[in-house]
Chain A
Amino acid sequence: MSISRRAFLRSSAAVAALSLALPEFAFAQTKAEAGGTLRVAVDQAISVIHPLLTRVNPEYLAVELLYSGLTRLGVNMQPEPDLATSWESNDDLTEWTFTLREGVKFHDGSPCTAADAVASFEAILNPEMASPARNNVGPIDKIEAVDDTTVRFTLSTPYADLPVALSYNNARIIPAAVISSDFQSLRSKAVGTGPFKLVSYEPDRLLVVERNPDFYDPERPYLDRIELHVFPDLGAQISSLISGDIDMVSTVAPNDFMRLEGQDGIDTLRAASGQFCNVNFGTDIAPFNDVRVRKALALTIDRDAMVDFMTEGFGTKGNDTPLNESYPFFKALPQREKNIEEAKKLLAEAGFPDGFTAELVASDRPAIRTQLAVALKEMAKEAGITINVNTMPHATYLDQVWTKGAFYVGFYNMQPTPDGILKLLFTSDAAWNETRWNNKTFDDLVAKARAVADPAERTELYTQAQQLMHDEVPSLIPAFFDVLGAKRSWVQDYQIHPRASVFRLDYAWLNTEAPTRKG
């Protein structure tokens, strides 16, 4: 079917001439074409396809194709309808009601109703299930099905970001029947309501999905089939993209990005993001329990140089807070710049007139962690601080240093909301309390911001919280990374997402220049 349609379109001189002469115009005007196989390269094995247990971007991608959430995250970081078509809350933001689509079916043909949504969120919140989504879906106290298409969330504290939080990568709706019978069975099969159905799955090589004809939107998805190819070697990804063997690379390194720029038939994709690599202080361990020492180190950093060195220029300066322009409710604070005099003065006040020596731990994955550590070592020298960089295997780091150490390098994806990243890393009750900063004023500001619907007021509260972090420096955040990707020009309507873990391939389609692939 699709072959003959394609052949017909290709032979149509009018279409070809138009797209040759005015590609931009033609693309903007063309309606999405259905059909075709899209091949995507991912850089890590897809070890887990259980929608509630995924942990890395290629797994998030696979699950996004196969399952739906109640809401999904737009490229503008705003929540959009998925299985829920609308939602509203009471005035104090403690009770949220979501209205679900009618007539949605799971891949096995069974209906998806409010009862499945309730069971899914109960599973997510059940510590026994150990879903990483548990810490990210908000302060849900109770969830109940009002009727077949209405779900009510009762929260333990007010939470303005609930619709965004519910779009979290591993907060997906699965059949209640599967949860009660064999929860783990979803590690090897997929029973979702997503735009695609699972065809085959080999963790280290290939995952294939095909169009779900019963998807709730009759138009989407446009593609017949998507193949996720695992390419552990970044160079091989790029070669395969250039040769046209694959159509899209989900993540591209800066040097490959520069190599691809200007190549015929390839579009490089770039989005500013809140992704960062930072240096964490154990704020309960000497000498880093002294604000002056932490601030002195912050003042040794040449942030422009950091952006150049760490991101090859594909990034933005950080100001020792995890928020930047990419987040909603953001207002910039005055930028901290390098000031060796001030740093030395602070060190002397803290009792280290001749500097001190410290060991900075960096895990070996990704390599950028070590780059940051080495750069900081060189910059801190000027203020008399001697840093010894200790690189260790990632698993060893997680076991021995992470959330326990005094001085180590972290690496984080952008979260959907300011609340998401602050609650993940920096409040006293943070899921990963890496710095043990435990500042009550900061906690209160973050908690207050959750309970406010007015954007201006929220911005003000987050700015105060940022100011506190900026002053006390529990963590050095010298630079943010842009998210980089690439695709063949024949792939249409794919936008790279600042969060790097959201893909929205049900909107993507292939124009007539795409190669026809059997499958």
Chain B
Amino acid sequence: MSASYILKRIALIFYTLVVVSLLVFAITQILPADAAVMMLGENATADALEALRQQMGLNDPIWLQYLHWAGGVLQGDFGTSLRTGQPVGPALFSALGTSLTLAAFALVFMLLLAIPMGIIAAVRRGKFADLSVSFISYIGVSLPEFVTATLAVVLVADWWKLLPPAGYVPLTQDFWGGLERLILPVIVVSVMMIAHVSRMVRSELVDVMHTDYIRAARLKGLTPRRVLFRHGLRNALLPTITIVALDVGYLLGGVIVVEEIFSIPGIGRSLMSAIQARDLPVIQAGVMIMATTYAVVNFIADVTYAWLDKRIQYD
């Protein structure tokens, strides 16, 4: 891995973000709604609307509006929400923090379960343990979150009364109370990822265990445990990094249903309500923040991958 590889990847991130910003700006221009009307409401007079359009620069040519907006974003100013009249940035970053908290717990929980499940399934291939893991994975993949989330609430909260059914408390405010409310959503979003990752680990490990170098390791007399963990697993786990990076994207944008059901004010929900209210600055900023996070996480994954996998030369 060379410095030029990293620089190239960083340049690519910027390129991607510019393209995303152009796309999202174009799309928000097409959405049928007048930002000034959304901001002032149905009661605004024509004069007030016109004044606001002037002030917001809505009458400028689109390319100029884009440059204004992009210039603001580069200085950390994402504009003002049409819905709340508040600056967009702080609200969205707080939502991003909430989503990342959920994502971090879900990823750790998922990896702690999925990797052992994958190993057991690979080692006991074709046996009962393997079949059980496959079965559980299939259920995880096939059940949409609104089903698992509703089931979790009905069983754990409504019937057994073990956990509160919904709500979010920041961990900085009340650590244990917040953690208690994160348990159900973390389990729900993990279910699908466990299915992905455990099956991935299984198939990679099965492949690796059939390679020549594993046979060599066995033949030189290493214990099966050492062969599995030292030589097999190290290689089989590499692709998991990529999957985890992809799952971060899913955890940021794809868990709106879970955020709705458990009343978690994450970035997916912010974006959803912004779209419903045609709150254009929030839509634009939300997409940009998600795209940036996603690009950065994937960049980190790529670099880690390159760093761990010394066999491949990146340049």
**Interchain CA distance A422-B127 in the complex, whole Å:** 74
Beta-carbon contact of B168 and A205 below 8 Å: yes
Contacts of A250 in B (CB 8 A): none
Question: B residues within 8 A CB of A233?
Answer: 166, 260-263
B258 to chain A, nearest CB (A): 10
Q: Which of A184, A243, A393 contacts B85 (CB 8 A)?
A: A184
Cβ contacts under 8 Å, A45 to chain B: 273
A399 x B32 contact (CB < 8 A): yes
A199 at the interface (CB under 8 A from B): no
Given the interface contacts A127-B48, A230-B263, does A240 sit within 8 Å of B43 by beta carbon? no
- Measured between alpha carbons, how far is A395 from B38 in the docked complex, in Å? 9
A residues in contact with B269, CB < 8 Å: 204, 232
The closest CB in chain B to the CB of A203 belongs to B84
Contact pattern, B 166-206, Cβ under 8 Å of A = 1, otherwise 0: 11100000000000000000000000000000000000000
- Complex Cα–Cα for A184 and B40 (A): 13
Q: Does A2 touch B at the CB level, under 8 Å?
A: no
Total contacting residues, chain A, CB less than 8 A: 43
CA of A399 to CA of B165, assembled, Å: 37
Q: A48-B84, A233-B260, A240-B165 are in contact. Are A204 and B270 (CB under 8 A)?
A: yes
Query: A130 contacts B40, CB within 8 Å?
Result: yes
Please, what's the 1-or-0 string for A118-146, where 1 marks a CB less than 8 Å from any CB in chain B? Answer: 00000000011011101100000000000
> B270–A235 contact, CB under 8 A?
no
Contact A245–B33 (Cβ < 8 Å): no
Contact A47 B83, beta carbon cutoff 8 Å: yes
Contacting residue for A236 out of B40, B84, B153, CB 8 A: B153
Quick check: B44 and A130 within 8 Å, CB to CB?
yes
> In this assembly, does B212 line the interface, its C-beta being within 8 Å of a C-beta of chain A?
no
Interface positions, chain B 61-117, Cβ under 8 Å from A, are: 83-86, 91, 94-95
A239-B153 contact in complex given A130-B44, A203-B91, A205-B263, C-beta closer than 8 Å: yes
Q: In the complex, which residues 24-50 of chain A have their Cβ closer than 8 Å to any Cβ of chain B? A: 45, 47-48, 50
B78 nearest CB across to chain A (Å): 16
B150 within 8 A of A: yes
Quote the shortest CB–CB distance from A234 to chain B (angstroms).
Answer: 10
Q: Which residue of A lies closest to B158 (CB)?
A: A239
| Residue of A whose beta carbon sits closest to that of B181 | A245
B41 at the interface (CB under 8 A from A): yes
Cα distance A230–B42 when bound, in Å? 24
Contacts of A240 in B (CB 8 A): 164-167
A221 to B83, CA, bound (A): 31
Q: State whether B32 touches A127 (Cβ < 8 A).
A: no
Given contacts A127-B45, A243-B161, contact A188 B86 (CB under 8 A): yes
Interface residues of A in 386-444 (CB under 8 A from B): 393-396, 398-400, 431-432
B313 on the interface (CB 8 Å rule)? no
Chain B neighbourhood of A50, CB < 8 A:
85
Give the contacting residue for A204; candidates B33, B95, B165, B261; CB below 8 A.
B95
Is there an interface contact between B33 and A398, defined as CB atoms closer than 8 Å?
yes
Q: Give the CA-CA distance A204 to B154 in the complex, in Å.
A: 24
Is residue A197 contacting chain B, with contact meaning CB distance below 8 A? Answer: no
Instruction: Confirm or deny: B47 has a beta carbon within 8 angstroms of a beta carbon on chain A.
Output: yes
0 or 1 for each of B259-284: is its CB under 8 Å from A? (1 = yes): 01111010001100100111000000
Residues of chain B contacted by A53 (CB below 8 angstroms): 41, 85
**B13 proximal to A (CB < 8 A):** no
Contact B43–A431 (Cβ < 8 Å): yes
B24 within 8 Å of A (CB atoms): no
CA distance A396 to B38 in the complex (A): 11
Contacts of B44 in A (CB 8 A): 127, 130
> Is B34 on the interface with A (CB-CB < 8 A)?
yes
**Interface positions of B from 17 to 59, Cβ below 8 Å from A:** 31-34, 37-38, 40-45, 47-48, 51
Given A187-B84, A235-B150, A236-B262, the answer on whether A399 and B37 have CB atoms closer than 8 Å is: yes
**With A204-B265, A205-B265, A235-B150 in contact, do A130 and B41 touch (Cβ < 8 Å)?**
yes
How far, in angstroms, from A240 to B34 measured CA to CA in the complex? 38
Contacts of B238 in A (CB 8 A): none
Q: A52-88 toward B: CB 8 Å interface, digit per residue (1/0)? A: 0101000000000000000000000000000000000
Bound complex: CA of A22 vs CA of B149, how far in Å? 40
Q: Chain B residues near A245 (CB, 8 Å)?
A: 164-167
Cβ of B166 and Cβ of A239 under 8 Å apart? yes
Residue of A nearest to B45 (CB): A127
Across the interface, which residues of B come within 8 angstroms of A237, CB to CB?
Answer: 166
Chain A positions within 8 Å of B154 at CB level: 239
CB <8 Å contact, B158 and A243: yes
| Contacts known (A55-B41, A398-B42); A235 close to B153, Cβ less than 8 A | yes
- B39 CB, nearest partner CB in chain A, Å: 9
Chain B CB within 8 A of A202 CB? yes
A-contact bits for B147-163, CB 8 A (1 contact / 0 none)? 00010011001100100
Question: Which of A128, A205, A239, A396 is within 8 Å of B33, CB to CB?
Answer: A396
Q: How far is the CA of A55 from the CA of B83 in the complex (A)?
A: 11
Pair A204/B43 contact, Cβ less than 8 Å: no
A221-260, CB under 8 A of B: which get 1 and which 0?
A: 0000000011111011101101101000000000000000
How many angstroms from the CA of A48 to the CA of B84 in the assembled complex?
A: 5
The answer to whether B84 touches A399 (Cβ under 8 A) is no
Contacts of B157 in A (CB 8 A): 239, 243
Max count, chain A CB within 10 A of own CB: residue among B31, B33, B40, B167 = B167
Which residues of chain A have C-beta atoms less than 8 A from B263's C-beta?
Answer: 205, 229-233, 236
CA of A277 to CA of B269, assembled, Å: 28
Within the assembled complex, what's the spacing in Å between the Cα atoms of A388 and B111?
51
What are the residues of chain A within 8 A of B37 when measuring CB–CB? 398-399
Cβ proximity bits B232-265 to A, threshold 8 Å, 1 near / 0 not? 0000000000000000000000000000111101
Shortest CB distance B207–A (Å): 42
Q: Which residues of B contact A132 (CB under 8 A)?
A: 41-43
In Å, the complex CA distance between A399 and B33 comes to: 6
Separation in Å of the B102 CB from the closest CB of chain A? Answer: 14
> Contact at B278–A395, with CB atoms within 8 Å?
yes
Does A127 lie within 8 Å of B47, measured CB to CB?
yes
20 more A-B residue pairs beyond the given contacts A132-B42, A399-B32, with a C-beta to C-beta distance below 8 A: A45-B273, A48-B84, A128-B51, A130-B48, A131-B43, A135-B43, A187-B86, A231-B167, A235-B153, A236-B153, A236-B165, A240-B165, A242-B158, A243-B164, A395-B276, A398-B42, A399-B33, A399-B34, A399-B37, A431-B43
Q: B residues near A, CB below 8 A?
A: 31-34, 37-38, 40-45, 47-48, 51, 83-86, 91, 94-95, 150, 153-154, 157-158, 161, 164-168, 260-263, 265, 269-270, 273, 276-278
Q: Supply 8 A–B pairs (Cβ within 8 Å), ascending by A.
A: A202-B265, A229-B167, A231-B167, A232-B273, A236-B153, A236-B261, A240-B166, A240-B167
CB-CB nearest 9 A-B residue pairs:
A239-B165, A236-B166, A204-B265, A395-B278, A205-B265, A130-B40, A127-B45, A130-B44, A187-B85
